[in-house]
Amino acid sequence: MKKLLTTTILLCIVVITLGASTNLLTSFVKTTIDLTSLPTLKKVVIDGEEVPLGGISVKKLKKNLAEHDFASLSLEERVAIYQETRQDIGKSAFRNLLVGFGKGSQRQGDVAGHITGMVLDWTTLTVAGVGASIALIDFLVLAMFGQSPDMETDDVLKISVYAALGGAGAFVLGRIVQAILPTIYGSRYNKTLRNGLYLTKNMEDSTTALDFGFEPTLYLADERPTMGVKFVANLGFTP
């Protein structure tokens, strides 16, 4: 019985592990291809040229913003561009939480987040699946020989149950981590986009700033130095 059980367990582990590895490798290969046709990949036209601003990496976004003069556009035009190309953090986080496998991060154009999600889900599901499969096989083999399972004496059953429970717990934790990733990435992305479009968080124009204030001054009155206060207005421009 022990030989049969051991052989069956080994075959189960090999089949499940190979299947998971194949799926993970396939997902890695598809990642780069899928990113080129994302529905979130959005372009805007400036100076007669199409410039990608949505669904790309933060590094690529900074490069595109630096290479074009968005300050020449009106405030309304820049706000419209931001609203069209900004990251929808809520949808991406929700997709990562429910669908998993980094699908929400993939829609954002976040390759690292997408790969992290795939690794977390495939790894935890593999561990949980192997543990559950071994436990089921152990039950079936013992039933064939008319024996009752006992976790206190059956080390194989004990380890497999713990592996299944541990994998399931890690899977839930991994989904929570995946839900956080789009929030971090999306916030960085939107902040970079606002800065490149010369917008404040309140969608106001940051290319100019008018400040008023008072500052102390020293002047001569009847040939005597006298302290006073003068009203100052400063108009600044973002270079």
Determine the pLDDT at residue 63: 93
Give the gyration radius of the chain's Cα atoms. 30
* Amino acid identity at 116: T
Q: Which two tokens stand for residue 166?
A: 């541990």
Q: Which two tokens stand for residue 168?
A: 């399931």
Determine the pLDDT at residue 93: 95
Q: What is the pLDDT along the chain (239 residues), one digit of tens a residue?
A: 555 555 555 565 555 555 554 555 555 555 444 544 455 578 888 878 888 888 888 999 999 999 988 888 899 999 999 999 999 899 999 999 999 999 999 888 898 899 999 999 999 998 888 888 888 887 777 777 677 766 667 777 788 888 889 999 999 999 999 999 999 999 999 999 999 999 998 888 887 544 555 566 665 555 566 666 665 555 444 44
DSSP assigned state of 203: S
Determine the pLDDT at residue 137: 80
Neighbours of 118 (CB within 10 A): 23
Is the whole-model pTM more than 0.85? no
* Amino acid identity at 64: N
